[in-house]
A = this chain, B = another copy of it.
Amino acid sequence: MKFNLIYCFIAINISFSFAQENDSVLIRKIYSHHLTNSNSYENLRELCKGVGNRLSGSENAEKAVKWAFEKLKSEKSADTVYLQEVTVPVWKRHKEEAFITKNKQKLAIYALGGSVATPENGISANIIEVKTYEELAQIPENEIKGKIVFINHQINKTNINTFDSYRENGKYRWRGASEAGAKGAAAVIIKSLTLKEDDEPHTGSMSYKDSLVKIPAAAISWKSAEILSKALKEDKNIQVQLLLKCETLKDVLSYNVIAEIKGSLYPNEIIVAGGHLDSWDKGEGAHDDGTGVVQSFEILRTFKLLNIKPERTIRVVAFMNEENGLRGGKKLAEVSKIKKEKIIAGIESDAGGYSPRGFFMEGSEEQVKKVKAYSHLFKPYNLHSFDRVGSGSDVEPLKDFGALLMELEVDSQRYFDLHHTSNDVFEEVNKRELELGSASITAMVYLISKYGF
Protein backbone atom coordinates (compact mmCIF):
# COMPACT_ATOMS: atom_id res chain seq x y z
CA MET A 1 0.00 0.00 0.00
CA LYS A 2 2.74 2.38 0.87
CA PHE A 3 4.32 1.97 -2.53
CA ASN A 4 0.99 2.47 -4.19
CA LEU A 5 0.32 5.65 -2.31
CA ILE A 6 3.67 7.13 -3.26
CA TYR A 7 3.16 6.04 -6.84
CA CYS A 8 -0.24 7.65 -6.86
CA PHE A 9 1.18 10.84 -5.38
CA ILE A 10 3.86 11.02 -8.06
CA ALA A 11 1.32 10.35 -10.77
CA ILE A 12 -0.89 13.20 -9.58
CA ASN A 13 2.07 15.51 -9.39
CA ILE A 14 3.20 14.64 -12.88
CA SER A 15 -0.25 15.12 -14.30
CA PHE A 16 -0.59 18.44 -12.47
CA SER A 17 2.73 19.78 -13.71
CA PHE A 18 1.90 18.52 -17.20
CA ALA A 19 -1.37 20.42 -17.04
CA GLN A 20 0.51 23.51 -15.92
CA GLU A 21 2.92 23.11 -18.80
CA ASN A 22 0.05 22.74 -21.22
CA ASP A 23 -1.53 25.82 -19.72
CA SER A 24 1.64 27.83 -20.09
CA VAL A 25 1.91 26.78 -23.75
CA LEU A 26 -1.70 27.66 -24.42
CA ILE A 27 -1.41 30.98 -22.62
CA ARG A 28 1.62 31.82 -24.76
CA LYS A 29 -0.59 31.10 -27.80
CA ILE A 30 -3.31 33.36 -26.39
CA TYR A 31 -0.89 36.28 -25.97
CA SER A 32 0.62 35.74 -29.42
CA HIS A 33 -2.84 35.69 -30.97
CA HIS A 34 -3.75 38.98 -29.31
CA LEU A 35 -0.48 40.67 -30.30
CA THR A 36 -0.68 39.66 -33.94
CA ASN A 37 -4.24 38.86 -34.88
CA SER A 38 -6.66 40.71 -32.60
CA ASN A 39 -9.68 42.67 -33.80
CA SER A 40 -9.81 44.74 -30.63
CA TYR A 41 -8.01 47.85 -31.86
CA GLU A 42 -10.04 48.12 -35.07
CA ASN A 43 -13.24 47.36 -33.15
CA LEU A 44 -12.37 50.18 -30.75
CA ARG A 45 -11.80 52.52 -33.69
CA GLU A 46 -15.28 51.68 -35.00
CA LEU A 47 -16.91 52.22 -31.61
CA CYS A 48 -15.08 55.51 -30.92
CA LYS A 49 -15.10 57.03 -34.39
CA GLY A 50 -18.25 55.41 -35.81
CA VAL A 51 -20.49 55.76 -32.76
CA GLY A 52 -18.69 58.26 -30.49
CA ASN A 53 -19.63 58.94 -26.90
CA ARG A 54 -22.77 57.16 -25.72
CA LEU A 55 -24.45 58.18 -22.50
CA SER A 56 -27.27 55.84 -21.44
CA GLY A 57 -30.55 56.74 -23.06
CA SER A 58 -28.94 58.77 -25.84
CA GLU A 59 -29.29 58.05 -29.54
CA ASN A 60 -25.60 57.13 -29.60
CA ALA A 61 -26.09 54.56 -26.84
CA GLU A 62 -28.66 52.84 -29.03
CA LYS A 63 -26.26 52.98 -31.97
CA ALA A 64 -23.66 51.37 -29.74
CA VAL A 65 -26.06 48.57 -28.79
CA LYS A 66 -26.73 47.92 -32.46
CA TRP A 67 -23.02 48.03 -33.28
CA ALA A 68 -22.12 45.60 -30.47
CA PHE A 69 -24.90 43.16 -31.34
CA GLU A 70 -24.00 43.12 -35.01
CA LYS A 71 -20.27 42.90 -34.29
CA LEU A 72 -20.76 39.87 -32.05
CA LYS A 73 -23.06 38.27 -34.61
CA SER A 74 -20.70 38.90 -37.52
CA GLU A 75 -17.63 37.57 -35.72
CA LYS A 76 -19.48 34.24 -35.34
CA SER A 77 -17.48 33.28 -32.26
CA ALA A 78 -20.40 32.80 -29.88
CA ASP A 79 -23.12 30.14 -29.75
CA THR A 80 -25.71 32.80 -28.96
CA VAL A 81 -25.88 36.58 -29.08
CA TYR A 82 -28.82 38.37 -27.49
CA LEU A 83 -30.05 41.60 -25.95
CA GLN A 84 -31.18 41.93 -22.35
CA GLU A 85 -33.63 44.75 -21.64
CA VAL A 86 -32.51 47.42 -19.18
CA THR A 87 -34.50 50.53 -18.30
CA VAL A 88 -32.08 53.46 -18.07
CA PRO A 89 -32.22 57.07 -16.86
CA VAL A 90 -31.94 59.88 -19.39
CA TRP A 91 -30.00 63.04 -18.60
CA LYS A 92 -29.14 65.60 -21.24
CA ARG A 93 -26.52 68.32 -21.32
CA HIS A 94 -27.35 71.32 -23.52
CA LYS A 95 -25.11 74.22 -22.55
CA GLU A 96 -22.66 75.12 -19.80
CA GLU A 97 -20.60 78.20 -19.14
CA ALA A 98 -19.05 80.13 -16.29
CA PHE A 99 -17.05 83.32 -15.93
CA ILE A 100 -15.88 85.77 -13.33
CA THR A 101 -18.38 88.60 -13.68
CA LYS A 102 -16.18 91.62 -13.26
CA ASN A 103 -13.53 90.78 -15.86
CA LYS A 104 -15.41 88.19 -17.95
CA GLN A 105 -12.59 85.68 -17.27
CA LYS A 106 -13.87 82.39 -18.64
CA LEU A 107 -13.78 79.35 -16.40
CA ALA A 108 -13.73 75.87 -17.97
CA ILE A 109 -16.59 73.86 -16.44
CA TYR A 110 -18.79 70.86 -17.22
CA ALA A 111 -22.11 70.13 -15.56
CA LEU A 112 -21.89 67.03 -13.41
CA GLY A 113 -24.04 64.19 -14.70
CA GLY A 114 -27.50 64.32 -13.19
CA SER A 115 -27.25 67.96 -12.16
CA VAL A 116 -30.32 70.17 -12.31
CA ALA A 117 -30.14 73.26 -14.49
CA THR A 118 -29.58 76.80 -13.29
CA PRO A 119 -32.37 79.32 -13.94
CA GLU A 120 -32.62 80.33 -17.62
CA ASN A 121 -30.26 83.28 -17.20
CA GLY A 122 -27.85 81.49 -14.90
CA ILE A 123 -26.77 82.34 -11.39
CA SER A 124 -24.60 85.29 -10.45
CA ALA A 125 -23.30 84.88 -6.95
CA ASN A 126 -20.40 85.31 -4.58
CA ILE A 127 -18.06 82.41 -3.99
CA ILE A 128 -17.26 80.52 -0.81
CA GLU A 129 -14.05 78.56 -1.36
CA VAL A 130 -13.32 75.55 0.83
CA LYS A 131 -10.81 72.74 0.49
CA THR A 132 -12.65 70.08 2.52
CA TYR A 133 -16.01 69.22 4.05
CA GLU A 134 -14.46 69.91 7.45
CA GLU A 135 -13.83 73.50 6.34
CA LEU A 136 -17.37 73.75 4.98
CA ALA A 137 -18.76 72.55 8.32
CA GLN A 138 -17.03 75.47 10.09
CA ILE A 139 -18.83 78.12 8.03
CA PRO A 140 -22.22 79.32 9.35
CA GLU A 141 -25.24 78.81 7.08
CA ASN A 142 -25.97 82.52 6.75
CA GLU A 143 -22.56 83.07 5.17
CA ILE A 144 -23.22 80.36 2.57
CA LYS A 145 -26.86 81.08 1.76
CA GLY A 146 -27.35 82.11 -1.87
CA LYS A 147 -23.68 81.76 -2.73
CA ILE A 148 -21.76 79.32 -4.90
CA VAL A 149 -19.68 76.88 -2.89
CA PHE A 150 -16.36 76.15 -4.63
CA ILE A 151 -14.79 72.92 -3.33
CA ASN A 152 -11.16 73.33 -4.32
CA HIS A 153 -9.84 70.00 -3.13
CA GLN A 154 -6.64 68.74 -4.75
CA ILE A 155 -6.71 65.02 -5.41
CA ASN A 156 -3.90 63.20 -3.58
CA LYS A 157 -0.87 62.84 -5.84
CA THR A 158 1.17 60.55 -3.61
CA ASN A 159 -0.82 57.35 -3.98
CA ILE A 160 0.90 55.01 -6.42
CA ASN A 161 -2.34 53.54 -7.70
CA THR A 162 -4.35 56.54 -8.89
CA PHE A 163 -7.65 54.74 -8.24
CA ASP A 164 -6.89 55.02 -4.52
CA SER A 165 -6.86 58.80 -4.91
CA TYR A 166 -10.02 58.72 -6.99
CA ARG A 167 -11.82 56.74 -4.31
CA GLU A 168 -10.53 58.99 -1.49
CA ASN A 169 -11.59 62.17 -3.23
CA GLY A 170 -14.70 60.98 -5.03
CA LYS A 171 -16.91 62.14 -2.15
CA TYR A 172 -16.52 65.74 -3.25
CA ARG A 173 -18.04 65.08 -6.65
CA TRP A 174 -20.65 62.61 -5.39
CA ARG A 175 -21.91 64.50 -2.32
CA GLY A 176 -20.85 68.10 -2.99
CA ALA A 177 -24.28 69.30 -4.12
CA SER A 178 -25.97 67.75 -1.07
CA GLU A 179 -23.43 69.09 1.40
CA ALA A 180 -23.47 72.61 -0.03
CA GLY A 181 -27.21 72.52 -0.71
CA ALA A 182 -27.91 71.57 2.91
CA LYS A 183 -26.35 74.86 3.95
CA GLY A 184 -28.38 76.93 1.50
CA ALA A 185 -25.84 77.32 -1.31
CA ALA A 186 -27.20 78.36 -4.71
CA ALA A 187 -24.82 76.05 -6.60
CA VAL A 188 -21.65 74.05 -6.18
CA ILE A 189 -18.46 73.97 -8.26
CA ILE A 190 -16.08 71.06 -7.62
CA LYS A 191 -12.46 70.94 -8.66
CA SER A 192 -12.18 68.10 -11.19
CA LEU A 193 -10.92 64.73 -10.03
CA THR A 194 -7.84 65.02 -12.20
CA LEU A 195 -4.14 64.36 -12.00
CA LYS A 196 -3.38 66.53 -15.02
CA GLU A 197 -2.79 70.22 -14.61
CA ASP A 198 -4.67 71.33 -17.71
CA ASP A 199 -7.81 73.28 -18.58
CA GLU A 200 -10.12 70.32 -19.16
CA PRO A 201 -12.97 69.70 -16.69
CA HIS A 202 -13.90 66.12 -15.75
CA THR A 203 -17.60 65.30 -15.56
CA GLY A 204 -19.04 62.27 -13.73
CA SER A 205 -21.97 61.20 -11.66
CA MET A 206 -23.25 62.97 -8.53
CA SER A 207 -26.16 62.47 -6.19
CA TYR A 208 -28.88 64.45 -4.40
CA LYS A 209 -30.35 63.51 -1.07
CA ASP A 210 -34.06 63.35 -1.86
CA SER A 211 -35.09 65.46 1.12
CA LEU A 212 -33.00 68.44 0.05
CA VAL A 213 -33.31 71.20 -2.45
CA LYS A 214 -31.39 70.24 -5.56
CA ILE A 215 -28.73 72.75 -6.57
CA PRO A 216 -26.77 72.89 -9.84
CA ALA A 217 -23.38 71.18 -9.72
CA ALA A 218 -20.41 71.59 -12.03
CA ALA A 219 -16.80 70.42 -12.26
CA ILE A 220 -14.10 72.99 -12.98
CA SER A 221 -10.75 72.28 -14.67
CA TRP A 222 -7.49 72.30 -12.70
CA LYS A 223 -6.31 75.51 -14.40
CA SER A 224 -9.59 77.34 -14.00
CA ALA A 225 -9.71 76.31 -10.34
CA GLU A 226 -6.29 77.94 -9.94
CA ILE A 227 -7.52 81.08 -11.68
CA LEU A 228 -10.64 81.29 -9.56
CA SER A 229 -8.78 80.66 -6.33
CA LYS A 230 -6.22 83.33 -7.19
CA ALA A 231 -8.95 85.83 -8.07
CA LEU A 232 -10.61 85.15 -4.70
CA LYS A 233 -7.35 85.80 -2.90
CA GLU A 234 -7.18 89.18 -4.58
CA ASP A 235 -10.84 90.03 -4.00
CA LYS A 236 -13.07 87.74 -1.98
CA ASN A 237 -16.18 89.59 -3.17
CA ILE A 238 -15.94 88.63 -6.83
CA GLN A 239 -18.99 87.04 -8.37
CA VAL A 240 -19.20 84.16 -10.79
CA GLN A 241 -21.86 83.77 -13.44
CA LEU A 242 -22.80 80.12 -13.84
CA LEU A 243 -25.13 78.76 -16.50
CA LEU A 244 -26.06 75.08 -16.80
CA LYS A 245 -28.70 73.96 -19.25
CA CYS A 246 -29.40 70.30 -18.68
CA GLU A 247 -32.38 68.13 -17.88
CA THR A 248 -33.51 64.74 -16.66
CA LEU A 249 -36.12 63.10 -18.89
CA LYS A 250 -38.19 59.93 -18.49
CA ASP A 251 -36.42 56.57 -18.31
CA VAL A 252 -36.17 54.68 -21.59
CA LEU A 253 -35.53 51.12 -22.67
CA SER A 254 -31.98 50.08 -23.48
CA TYR A 255 -29.97 46.83 -23.44
CA ASN A 256 -27.07 44.79 -22.19
CA VAL A 257 -25.52 43.04 -25.18
CA ILE A 258 -24.64 39.44 -24.37
CA ALA A 259 -22.82 36.65 -26.18
CA GLU A 260 -22.14 33.14 -24.90
CA ILE A 261 -20.13 30.04 -25.60
CA LYS A 262 -21.74 27.06 -23.89
CA GLY A 263 -19.46 25.02 -21.65
CA SER A 264 -18.71 21.53 -22.97
CA LEU A 265 -18.61 19.78 -19.57
CA TYR A 266 -20.31 22.12 -17.09
CA PRO A 267 -22.63 24.32 -19.15
CA ASN A 268 -24.46 25.45 -16.03
CA GLU A 269 -21.36 27.01 -14.49
CA ILE A 270 -21.08 30.50 -15.91
CA ILE A 271 -18.18 32.93 -16.10
CA VAL A 272 -19.25 36.50 -16.78
CA ALA A 273 -16.67 38.78 -18.44
CA GLY A 274 -17.28 42.27 -19.73
CA GLY A 275 -16.93 45.99 -19.89
CA HIS A 276 -19.50 48.75 -20.13
CA LEU A 277 -20.85 50.01 -23.41
CA ASP A 278 -22.18 53.35 -22.18
CA SER A 279 -19.87 56.30 -21.53
CA TRP A 280 -20.04 59.90 -20.45
CA ASP A 281 -21.11 62.45 -23.06
CA LYS A 282 -17.64 63.93 -23.67
CA GLY A 283 -14.84 62.54 -25.80
CA GLU A 284 -15.32 59.07 -27.23
CA GLY A 285 -15.42 56.85 -24.13
CA ALA A 286 -12.26 55.16 -25.38
CA HIS A 287 -10.54 54.12 -22.15
CA ASP A 288 -13.84 54.37 -20.26
CA ASP A 289 -14.86 51.85 -21.30
CA GLY A 290 -14.62 51.14 -25.00
CA THR A 291 -11.44 49.22 -24.28
CA GLY A 292 -13.19 46.91 -21.80
CA VAL A 293 -15.90 46.15 -24.35
CA VAL A 294 -13.60 45.29 -27.26
CA GLN A 295 -11.28 43.32 -24.99
CA SER A 296 -14.22 41.20 -23.86
CA PHE A 297 -15.33 40.54 -27.42
CA GLU A 298 -11.83 39.28 -28.19
CA ILE A 299 -12.14 36.55 -25.53
CA LEU A 300 -14.75 34.78 -27.66
CA ARG A 301 -12.82 35.31 -30.88
CA THR A 302 -9.69 33.82 -29.30
CA PHE A 303 -11.50 30.69 -28.11
CA LYS A 304 -12.87 30.23 -31.61
CA LEU A 305 -9.68 30.89 -33.56
CA LEU A 306 -7.48 28.83 -31.24
CA ASN A 307 -10.13 26.13 -31.20
CA ILE A 308 -10.45 26.06 -27.41
CA LYS A 309 -13.69 24.47 -26.24
CA PRO A 310 -14.35 25.86 -22.78
CA GLU A 311 -15.55 23.36 -20.19
CA ARG A 312 -17.67 26.00 -18.48
CA THR A 313 -19.93 28.60 -20.08
CA ILE A 314 -18.41 31.95 -21.00
CA ARG A 315 -20.82 34.86 -21.03
CA VAL A 316 -19.45 38.10 -22.44
CA VAL A 317 -21.48 41.19 -21.53
CA ALA A 318 -21.34 44.75 -22.85
CA PHE A 319 -23.11 46.36 -19.89
CA MET A 320 -25.40 49.36 -20.25
CA ASN A 321 -25.53 52.30 -17.79
CA GLU A 322 -22.47 51.77 -15.62
CA GLU A 323 -21.79 55.50 -15.53
CA ASN A 324 -25.01 56.83 -14.11
CA GLY A 325 -27.07 54.09 -12.57
CA LEU A 326 -25.42 50.69 -12.86
CA ARG A 327 -28.71 49.37 -14.04
CA GLY A 328 -27.16 46.95 -16.55
CA GLY A 329 -25.05 45.22 -13.93
CA LYS A 330 -27.99 45.01 -11.56
CA LYS A 331 -30.28 43.71 -14.29
CA LEU A 332 -27.93 40.91 -15.24
CA ALA A 333 -27.75 39.73 -11.62
CA GLU A 334 -31.51 40.04 -11.19
CA VAL A 335 -32.34 37.97 -14.27
CA SER A 336 -29.74 35.36 -13.36
CA LYS A 337 -31.23 35.09 -9.90
CA ILE A 338 -34.68 34.49 -11.30
CA LYS A 339 -33.26 31.83 -13.62
CA LYS A 340 -31.34 30.31 -10.69
CA GLU A 341 -28.12 30.38 -12.66
CA LYS A 342 -24.80 29.35 -11.17
CA ILE A 343 -22.40 32.20 -11.79
CA ILE A 344 -18.92 31.25 -10.60
CA ALA A 345 -16.93 34.33 -11.61
CA GLY A 346 -17.39 37.90 -12.83
CA ILE A 347 -14.45 39.67 -14.48
CA GLU A 348 -14.54 43.25 -15.68
CA SER A 349 -12.10 45.46 -17.51
CA ASP A 350 -12.97 49.05 -16.61
CA ALA A 351 -9.76 50.72 -15.55
CA GLY A 352 -8.56 51.81 -18.99
CA GLY A 353 -6.81 50.00 -21.83
CA TYR A 354 -3.31 50.36 -20.35
CA SER A 355 -0.57 47.79 -19.72
CA PRO A 356 -1.87 45.02 -17.51
CA ARG A 357 -0.42 44.61 -14.01
CA GLY A 358 -2.59 41.87 -12.49
CA PHE A 359 -6.07 41.30 -11.15
CA PHE A 360 -8.09 42.78 -8.33
CA MET A 361 -10.11 40.08 -6.56
CA GLU A 362 -12.98 39.80 -4.14
CA GLY A 363 -14.30 36.42 -3.03
CA SER A 364 -13.89 33.57 -0.59
CA GLU A 365 -10.43 32.78 0.75
CA GLU A 366 -10.50 29.54 -1.19
CA GLN A 367 -11.41 31.16 -4.51
CA VAL A 368 -8.76 33.84 -4.15
CA LYS A 369 -6.14 31.26 -3.18
CA LYS A 370 -6.96 29.16 -6.22
CA VAL A 371 -6.57 32.06 -8.62
CA LYS A 372 -3.41 33.32 -6.93
CA ALA A 373 -1.88 29.93 -7.65
CA TYR A 374 -2.14 30.82 -11.36
CA SER A 375 -0.03 33.95 -10.93
CA HIS A 376 3.21 32.28 -12.06
CA LEU A 377 1.56 31.62 -15.42
CA PHE A 378 1.19 35.39 -15.86
CA LYS A 379 4.72 36.31 -14.81
CA PRO A 380 6.18 36.08 -18.35
CA TYR A 381 3.64 38.74 -19.34
CA ASN A 382 4.65 41.14 -16.56
CA LEU A 383 1.54 40.63 -14.43
CA HIS A 384 2.64 40.79 -10.82
CA SER A 385 -0.28 42.10 -8.76
CA PHE A 386 -2.70 39.52 -7.40
CA ASP A 387 -3.01 40.79 -3.83
CA ARG A 388 -5.31 43.78 -4.13
CA VAL A 389 -8.96 43.62 -3.14
CA GLY A 390 -11.53 45.00 -5.55
CA SER A 391 -13.74 44.27 -8.55
CA GLY A 392 -15.57 45.95 -11.42
CA SER A 393 -18.80 47.87 -10.72
CA ASP A 394 -20.89 45.91 -13.21
CA VAL A 395 -19.94 42.52 -11.82
CA GLU A 396 -20.29 43.53 -8.18
CA PRO A 397 -24.01 42.63 -8.06
CA LEU A 398 -22.88 39.04 -8.77
CA LYS A 399 -21.55 38.87 -5.22
CA ASP A 400 -24.80 37.25 -4.09
CA PHE A 401 -24.02 34.24 -6.26
CA GLY A 402 -20.85 33.53 -4.32
CA ALA A 403 -18.94 34.28 -7.50
CA LEU A 404 -15.31 35.35 -7.47
CA LEU A 405 -15.34 38.98 -8.58
CA MET A 406 -12.36 40.40 -10.44
CA GLU A 407 -11.14 43.40 -12.36
CA LEU A 408 -8.15 43.64 -14.64
CA GLU A 409 -5.55 45.82 -12.93
CA VAL A 410 -3.67 48.03 -15.36
CA ASP A 411 -1.03 50.69 -15.05
CA SER A 412 -3.10 53.54 -13.65
CA GLN A 413 -0.86 56.58 -14.15
CA ARG A 414 -2.53 58.06 -17.22
CA TYR A 415 -6.17 57.26 -16.54
CA PHE A 416 -7.14 60.29 -14.48
CA ASP A 417 -5.54 62.63 -17.01
CA LEU A 418 -8.47 62.03 -19.33
CA HIS A 419 -11.20 60.19 -17.40
CA HIS A 420 -14.67 61.65 -18.20
CA THR A 421 -13.22 64.37 -20.44
CA SER A 422 -13.22 65.23 -24.12
CA ASN A 423 -9.67 63.86 -24.25
CA ASP A 424 -10.75 60.26 -23.73
CA VAL A 425 -10.44 59.40 -27.43
CA PHE A 426 -9.27 56.49 -29.55
CA GLU A 427 -5.85 58.06 -30.22
CA GLU A 428 -5.03 57.83 -26.52
CA VAL A 429 -5.18 54.04 -26.61
CA ASN A 430 -2.01 52.13 -27.43
CA LYS A 431 -2.65 49.05 -29.54
CA ARG A 432 -0.25 46.72 -27.75
CA GLU A 433 -1.34 47.78 -24.28
CA LEU A 434 -4.96 47.12 -25.24
CA GLU A 435 -4.02 43.72 -26.67
CA LEU A 436 -1.96 42.67 -23.65
CA GLY A 437 -4.94 43.51 -21.46
CA SER A 438 -7.36 41.43 -23.49
CA ALA A 439 -4.87 38.56 -23.64
CA SER A 440 -4.61 38.62 -19.85
CA ILE A 441 -8.37 38.47 -19.38
CA THR A 442 -8.69 35.72 -21.97
CA ALA A 443 -6.00 33.67 -20.23
CA MET A 444 -7.71 34.11 -16.86
CA VAL A 445 -11.11 33.16 -18.31
CA TYR A 446 -9.50 30.13 -19.89
CA LEU A 447 -8.04 28.95 -16.56
CA ILE A 448 -11.30 29.45 -14.68
CA SER A 449 -13.28 27.76 -17.45
CA LYS A 450 -10.94 24.78 -17.17
CA TYR A 451 -10.54 24.40 -13.43
CA GLY A 452 -13.65 26.10 -11.98
CA PHE A 453 -13.86 26.51 -8.21
Contact = CB atoms under 8 A, between A and B. Distances in A.
A385 B385 contact: no
A408 B380 CA distance: 18
A35 B430 contact: no
Interface in A363-418: 380-382, 384-385, 411, 413-414, 417
Given A384-B384, A432-B195, A36 B413 contact: no
B384 A413 contact: no
Contacts of A433: 413-414
Point out which of A380, A381, A385, A430 has the most chain B C-beta atoms below 10 A from its C-beta: A430
Interface in A31-76: 31-32, 35-36
A433 B36 CA distance: 27
A381 B36 contact: no
Contact of A381 (B160, B430, B431): B160
Contacts of A417: 430
Contact of A158 (B35, B160, B357): B35
B32 A158 contact: yes
Contacts of A209: none
Contacts of A380: 160
A157 interface: yes
Nearest to A33: B158
B430 A414 contact: yes
B385 A413 contact: no
A436 interface: yes
A438 interface: no
A165 B245 CA distance: 53
A266 to B, nearest CB: 32
23 contacts: A31-B160, A32-B158, A35-B158, A36-B158, A160-B380, A160-B381, A160-B382, A161-B382, A162-B432, A196-B431, A355-B355, A355-B411, A357-B382, A382-B384, A382-B411, A384-B384, A384-B385, A411-B411, A413-B433, A413-B436, A414-B430, A414-B433, A417-B430
Given A31-B158, A36-B158, 14 more contacts: A31-B160, A35-B158, A160-B380, A160-B436, A161-B382, A162-B432, A195-B432, A196-B431, A355-B413, A384-B385, A413-B430, A413-B432, A413-B433, A414-B432
Interface of A: 31-32, 35-36, 157-158, 160-162, 195-196, 355, 357, 380-382, 384-385, 411, 413-414, 417, 430-433, 436
